[in-house]
Every structure is written in structure tokens, then in C-alpha cells.
Structure 1
């Protein structure tokens, strides 16, 4: 009986864990000459989450390459869809955001993604650098398998494969690769070549951007 109960609990835990695979990514563009005011306001908004005992983690990175250079990407990860129906004090959260963040930045995107694969933990999201590879491919199922083959050949300390499910191109995958130095990042510079060697899908486009983790623009429990 105890064995059956243990198996049932283990299975329920696995189902629960599998359901916690939705992430929300938000992109902010600080207004011209308001970068410092934006940072201060964003940090004040994070204090609102702390003061209200928010249980969610919030990660913050700045783009440091590509056309979005200087923009902030914030993210909360590992949620079930139902979590977004039960957000902490949504009206108060929105009001504080309007007060401290919106006057100093433009909201560029709100994107929800489903995690398809990862290194098994979130420590890599705090790596010094994240390389964001955005891939447009058909069919997605085969492209996900191809990415699985590619990530096994990379030098990144950790990786995360996401599929866009709302707020963007539904034929796009986002690969996040964590590195603590540019020398390590450079070892994976030829990721396009690795992808093109994979069969069974059509690679329509691939883009690379680098992000820098900002602890002061994050709110993490661990």
C-alpha cells in the first residue's frame, strides 16, 4: 500500500513539474535620457513585489548586442497557465507599474513561451551572459529535435529551449545559452553550422543577441 502511495505521489509530482513550463518575457525600452530614472523606477517596482511577499522569481537582463541593445528583458519562469489567473494583486501591481516604470520606458513586448528542454535547473539564468538564439523553422516538432541534438554539442554551462506560444511568431524557437565569459561563448559561435547539419526541418531564419544578467534588476528567492 505504501509503495502504491509513493508511486502515486511521484507521478503526481512529475505531472505538476511538467505543467510548470510556461515563462513570460517582457521587453522594456528606456526612453531617451531616462535610463537612470527607468532603473530606479523598475527597482522600486521590484520592492513592491518584495513588500507584498510575491512568491514568483523575476529575472532581469540587458541586451548588449543587436538592434535591441540597451533594452531590458525581464522574465518569470516555470509557471502553469493557471498561475496567470492567480497573479498577486494584479490591479495594485499594474498601478505601481504605471507609477514607477511606464513614465520612463516603452513596453515593447509581452511574450509567453513554453519550455521544451533545459539543463534541469535555473542557475544558468544567472550566468554573466545569456546568448539568445531566435530560430524560425518548419516544422517545429522536427526543429525541436534538431535543437536537442545541437545543445549536446555546445560548451554553454546551461541551456533552455523555449517555443513561443503567444505574443510573437508561433514558428519561432528561442534558445538561451548561459556563459560566464566571452571566451566560453565564442566556442559556440558556429551554432548555425551545427543547425544546418541537422535533417528534417527547414531553417527559415536565425538571429543571435547577447544579454547581460543584472542582479539589481532581478528579484530571486534562491
Structure 2
């Protein structure tokens, strides 16, 4: 199965899980991760840029963002994704078979596909939507969170209560995992322009919630229910992105 075929399966599963009414209003995000073969960085980038030209020639309306992971255990991986689209847009993209064939010919000789995941934008706790607005920043800090399945309802209630209490200064965007990972997982993207933006940012999750929503007891309650948090930095690659 090619990565494009896998994408279709994830999109179908996410749409079925949400139900018809919810699927019509949700904004989806799809992320793909590649491990570039040693010594093949230049060839990979040339092939990927040529693949984006395939998208342009076929009038693909979906935005495609590209990043290199520049901090964390996955440093060196390439991440690409599309954001701010309805799930149904994956069903109507141009020539999926041709897309997969072009990807296999131009890109996959120089890299191994590692992961495919689908997410749903969670707007209530989010304070910015930079990717949905097609305004990527030079850097993103990507927080991968997981909550025990039995604690999801309590966690979300506490986080939403903190969001309703007010607004802080930290900009972030929340996504719920829809397919391709551990149940009870979330992705949180924090845009920044430089390393200097990290000065004064809290390192703990309760502090981050307070920085985004204001200090409340709910911030601590939500943070206490998170069983795992990992953070890495994604550096934006304009030459490996296409925002029609």
C-alpha cells in the first residue's frame, strides 16, 4: 500500500468515527514523516520539490507544508502535512494513483516513509491557527501529548474550563488524533520565529496552559492527567512547501 492509499484509509476512518454532521464542520490535518537515507539529502529535496511541481501541474488545491525536525530524538526526519481542510477534500484530490506513483518515483528512492497520522483541529483551547491561515512561522515547537483513554473526558473538561477562564499570551494550536497513533493522543503546535522566543516560556505543561489561557486551577488539573509529553522543533522549509 502506498502512502497516498494509506492516507485515504485514515481519512475514511476519521470521517466514519466523527459521524456525518461532525465531519462536515471539522478541519483536518494529515501528517507524514520520512527518514532520509544517509547522504541523500540533496537528492531527496530535489525529488520532493519536483513532486510538488506534479501537484501544481495537476491543480491540487490542498496546501502542503514541509519541515525538518531540528531538535528532539527524531532530529533529521522530514515532516510534511496538509492543514485546514475538510476530510472530504482527501476524497476529491486530483489523480491519487498518479500522485502515489510520482511520489514513489521521485522521492521514495531517497527516503523511507515512517508514519502517517490524521488529526482534527480542536479549536476551543487553540489561541492561533497559523497553518489553517496558511501563515507558517520559521519554527514550530511540536508537543506530543497522551492521556489515558479513561481520563480523556476529565482532561478535556479541565482544559476547556481553563480556556474559558481567559486568555494569556502564548499562541498554540491543538489537534486531537483521529487515526494513526495511540488513542488519547494530542498534537500541540506552538509557532515561533527564533530561539529567542523561548526566553521566559514555561517548561512544564501546567505553566504552558497558564501562559496560553491564564492561571487557573483547571490548568493544573488538566496537566496532572497527561501521562506523557514530548517536544521537538520543526524548522519550516519554504522550498519544500506549496501553499496555493
TM-score if structure 1 supplies the norm length? 0.83
Q: Distance in 1 between matches of 2:134 and 2:93?
A: 25
Corresponding position of 2:215: none
1:153 matched to 2:168? The reply is yes
Cα distance change, pair 52–33 in 1 and its aligned pair in 2 (3 A): same
1:125–1:178 Cα contact (<8 Å) kept: no
RMSD (CA atoms): 2.5
Corresponding position of 2:220: 198
What is the SS of the residue equivalent to 2:59? coil
Bigger Cα displacement from structure 2, 42-51 vs 183-192: 183-192
213, 218, 222: which one aligns with 2:241: 218
Please show how residues 50-65 of structure 1 align to structure 2 within 5 Å: 50-65=56-71
Unaligned 5+ runs, structure 1? 1-14
Unaligned 5+ runs, structure 2? 1-20, 210-217
Q: Which runs of 4+ in 1 moved over 6 A?
A: 15-18
1:44 matched to 2:50? The reply is yes
Q: Distance in 2 between matches of 1:124 and 1:86?
A: 20
144, 153, 158: which one aligns with 1:141: 153
Cα distance change, pair 152–27 in 1 and its aligned pair in 2 (3 A): farther
Cα distance change, pair 145–161 in 1 and its aligned pair in 2 (3 A): farther
TM-score if structure 2 supplies the norm length? 0.76
Q: Distance in 2 between matches of 1:124 and 1:78?
A: 8
Q: Distance in 2 between matches of 1:53 and 1:134?
A: 33
Corresponding position of 2:120: 114
Corresponding position of 1:172: 185
Q: Deviations over 1:56-100 (max 9, x none)?
A: 100111100111101111010122222222221001101100110
What is the SS of the residue equivalent to 1:93? helix
Would you tell me which structure has more strand in proportion to its own residues?
A: 1
Bigger Cα displacement from structure 2, 123-132 vs 205-214: 123-132
Please show how residues 19-30 of structure 1 align to structure 2 within 5 Å: 19-30=25-36
